[in-house]
Structure 1
Amino acid sequence: MPASAQTVPQPAKRGEMAIATREAPPFAMKDAKGQWSGLAIDLWRDIADDAGLKYRFEQTDLDGMVQGVADGRYAASVGALTVTPAREKAVDFTHPYYTTGFGIAIGQAPPSWLILFRNFFTWGFLQAVLALAALLLVVGLLFWAVERRHNQDEFGGRPISGIGSGMWFSAVTMTTVGYGDKAPRTMAGKVIALVWMFAAILIISTFTGLIASSLTEGRLSSSIKSPSDLSSAHVGSINGSAAQGWLDERGVAFDAYPDIEAGLAAVRSGQIDAFVYDRPLLAYLIRDGGEGKGLRLVPGTFGRQDYAFALPQDSKMREPLNRALLERIESPEWAAKVKQVLGRD
């Protein structure tokens, strides 16, 4: 038993201490029987048990983990709680027991051929095709109207046949194929054909732009390669979190979600392009499956986060806890456990 751990004083009021926590796998997890476990929970349990402290875990939200300690509802907060300047004003923190940063969760990039195939069936692409077909019909009607009496062989016959020939001539002229099987004979037809040739250049350019826009629209999530790409993406995060402060500093707006699972589900369903939060929590959920299944993290860790236990201001437990905490986290056992649970983060 570490000597320093034995010096952790009991709280002023005898009895069980209420310790605030919240689910944040793999640092704090609650099973079906209501039992808590995880890296942070087990670390606290080892230190508290060595010191003979009596305690119970109480579940709360992120705000409660800070304000609850500040107003005396809880003796401490244990979990994936980041040290920030704003929180430091309300509570005291122990030495950090884990240092990490933020991660960006995005969808898996589908193969290029799949994106191409999928976007051929978007409403935007269909609108462009219908608009082009309507234009070809109008131009085809003009050719049929001026040519049907003087060019019976190519634009004559039944109206549906003549209009079809006009649309065919319009299409091959616009695409510069020019089979030569049909051509206007009247002066009016030639003038219309000349105007149509020049207009078709602009139309083809516009249509090509519409297709390119439609086909690249679905690639936004796969184009997020760094935090600088977030400003043009639809981003999600959690209000009141350290991630919110990091995004606010960069002027990135985001949709708020109640928890990580909801945010990852929104990425999977396409509601948002990326979800930003603590990297180890995202990595664990993505690796573990569930709502993170099929997602991936942008390479790299961004910003800095220090996880620590929160205590009331001027708590007498702070120094003894720090000594016991440092002994634990500097041990080979702690390093092995972190590596086993988080891997490469």
Structure 2
Amino acid sequence: MKLKATVYFSVLFLLFTAMPFNVDAQAVRATEKVLLVGTKEAPPFSFKNTKGKWTGISIDLWENIAAEMGVEYQYEEHSVKGLLDSVANHSLDAVVSALTLTTEREERFDFTHPFYNTGLGIAVQTKKGSVWKAVLKEFLSTEFLEIIGVLIGTMILIGFIIWLFERRKNPKDFGGSTKEGIGSGIWWSVVTMTAVGYGDKVPKTFGGRLFATVWMFTGIILISTFIATITSVLTVSQLEYAIDGPEDLRMNTVGTIRYTTSEIYMQDNRIFYIPYDTVTEALQALNLGTINALVYDAPLLQYFINRNYKGKIEVLPNTFLRQDYGIALPQGSKIREPINRILLRRIHHDEWQDLLYKHLGGVE
């Protein structure tokens, strides 16, 4: 009898000590509840494949966690605002996507430990050719050609007037046929305006010299204006590619995505921006030149650009404002602790690195 009692209590002890390792999963299963998991299109973290099935880095992670916990779930697609509001009011049991941990969001609902670290990126149009090609384009513009036309017309007029003054009393420099005389006058007006003044043709009449004096001062003003115009064109051409980091955003037309941490960043830093509902809309605007830059999570920008705008749009190499992605849960959620334990074990496994490489490392 004593032997049977000893065996009986030993079995009970083993069962009791084994329970804590699986008590959370058992508690979840005991509810017999199908978890409602919110998500949204945020490639490569959450998106639908060609068969309409949700996949991606976050989705694969969640499905492995759910399988290990032994829970059933179904996905519900929402906008960013819809996800935030639904998990805050307990309409959703979890949000699995590319959702950034912030202080403001932590006040409304809970997060698991972060599973991915990144930052905000800035997308800009890829430089098309050299700066000099852009300058040449400006030089061939209608406005610039009009300036050149007025300048040439003015020099011809000045050449004709000096010829009228000098043609009889200074035939050596402005004589010959009418064509030769006017040609000499134009040559003189050009070298005088540019302050070269070769001295090969010099007005000798009083009227000619008085007119030449006026033209010299006028030429200085005209050539200074011309140089200023060229400088302005060069500056404008270079400014087209002057976005090197967040410090340059205030000087440009910038877009971002509504209800995201990138929008919060723009608001906190008093940067004027144009909001868009989706990354697709924002990248189209950037490609068309409606905006000069797009601020959003760097890996998401890179994913869309590599698939639709490669060679046209690029993400600047440096990120800013660290972003930590986590799974959002209602405050006080009972599944937070079991999720955290499995999540931490998963992201320190080689399979996690393989998953990241699959979606991020070898993107074409």
Tell me the TM-score range normalised by the shorter chain: 0.7 to 0.9
Q: Cα distance 1:196–1:332, how it changes in 2: closer, same or farther (>3 A)? A: same
Counterpart residue number, 1:22: 40
Give, in whole Å, the separation in 1 of the partners of 2:174 and 2:314: 59
Q: Is the 8 A contact 1:155 1:161 kept in 2?
A: yes
Q: Cα distance 1:263–1:304, how it changes in 2: closer, same or farther (>3 A)? A: same
Counterpart residue number, 2:8: none
Give, in whole Å, the separation in 2 of the partners of 1:264 and 1:97: 27
Q: Is the 8 A contact 2:120 2:296 kept in 1?
A: yes
Counterpart residue number, 1:108: 126
Alignment of 1:125-144 (within 5 A): 125-136=144-155, 139-140=158-159, 142-143=161-162
Aligned with residue 265 of structure 2, among 246, 255, 275: 246
Q: Which moved more, 1:200-209 or 1:57-66?
A: 200-209
Counterpart residue number, 1:279: 298
Alignment of 1:1-150 (within 5 A): 6-7=25-26, 9=28, 15-109=33-127, 110-136=129-155, 139-140=158-159, 142-143=161-162, 146-147=165-166
Q: Deviations over 1:225-261 (max 9, x none)?
A: 2222222222221122111222333332222222222
Q: Is the 8 A contact 2:255 2:273 kept in 1?
A: yes
Counterpart residue number, 1:237: 256
Q: Deviations over 1:31-80 (max 9, x none)?
A: 23321110001111111122232222222211111012223432221111
Q: Which moved more, 1:299-308 or 1:174-183?
A: 174-183
Q: Cα distance 1:128–1:238, how it changes in 2: closer, same or farther (>3 A)? A: farther
Aligned with residue 331 of structure 2, among 313, 316, 327: 313
Give, in whole Å, the separation in 2 of the partners of 1:147 and 1:11: 111
Q: Is the 8 A contact 2:158 2:189 kept in 1?
A: yes
Q: Cα distance 1:258–1:165, how it changes in 2: closer, same or farther (>3 A)? A: farther
Counterpart residue number, 1:214: 233
Q: Is the 8 A contact 1:128 1:210 kept in 2?
A: no
Q: Is the 8 A contact 2:24 2:335 kept in 1?
A: no
Q: Is the 8 A contact 2:135 2:237 kept in 1?
A: no
Q: Is the 8 A contact 2:159 2:186 kept in 1?
A: yes
**Does 1:175 find its partner at 2:208?**
no
Name the SS for the 1:211 alignment partner.
helix
The structural deviation recorded for 1:317 is 1.9
Q: Cα distance 1:339–1:150, how it changes in 2: closer, same or farther (>3 A)? A: same
Q: Deviations over 1:295-337 (max 9, x none)?
A: 2222222111111111122222222221221121122211232
**TM-score, with normalisation over the residues of structure 2?**
0.81
**Does 1:225 find its partner at 2:257?**
no
Give, in whole Å, the separation in 2 of the partners of 1:299 and 1:275: 14
Unaligned runs of 5+ in 2: 1-20
Q: Deviations over 1:174-204 (max 9, x none)?
A: 1234455654343222222122222322322
Q: Is the 8 A contact 1:4 1:320 kept in 2?
A: no
Counterpart residue number, 2:286: 267
**One-letter amino acid matched to 2:174:** E
Unaligned runs of 5+ in 1: none
Q: Cα distance 1:116–1:3, how it changes in 2: closer, same or farther (>3 A)? A: farther
**One-letter amino acid matched to 1:154:** F
Q: Is the 8 A contact 1:28 1:80 kept in 2?
A: yes
Give, in whole Å, the separation in 2 of the partners of 1:140 and 1:16: 91
Q: Deviations over 1:259-280 (max 9, x none)?
A: 2223233333333222111111
Q: Which moved more, 1:299-308 or 1:314-323?
A: 314-323
Q: Cα distance 1:162–1:76, how it changes in 2: closer, same or farther (>3 A)? A: farther
**Does 1:322 find its partner at 2:349?**
no
Q: Is the 8 A contact 1:125 1:211 kept in 2?
A: no
**One-letter amino acid matched to 1:93:** F
Give, in whole Å, the separation in 1 of the partners of 2:65 and 2:119: 25
Q: Please report the RMSD computed on the Cα atoms of aligned residues, expressed in angstroms.
A: 3.1
Q: Cα distance 1:101–1:192, how it changes in 2: closer, same or farther (>3 A)? A: same
Larger Cα-atom Rg: 2
Q: Is the 8 A contact 2:59 2:96 kept in 1?
A: yes
Give, in whole Å, the separation in 1 of the partners of 2:193 and 2:259: 57
**One-letter amino acid matched to 1:265:** Q
Q: Cα distance 1:260–1:180, how it changes in 2: closer, same or farther (>3 A)? A: same
**One-letter amino acid matched to 1:278:** D
Give, in whole Å, the separation in 2 of the partners of 1:169 and 1:9: 96
**One-letter amino acid matched to 1:204:** I
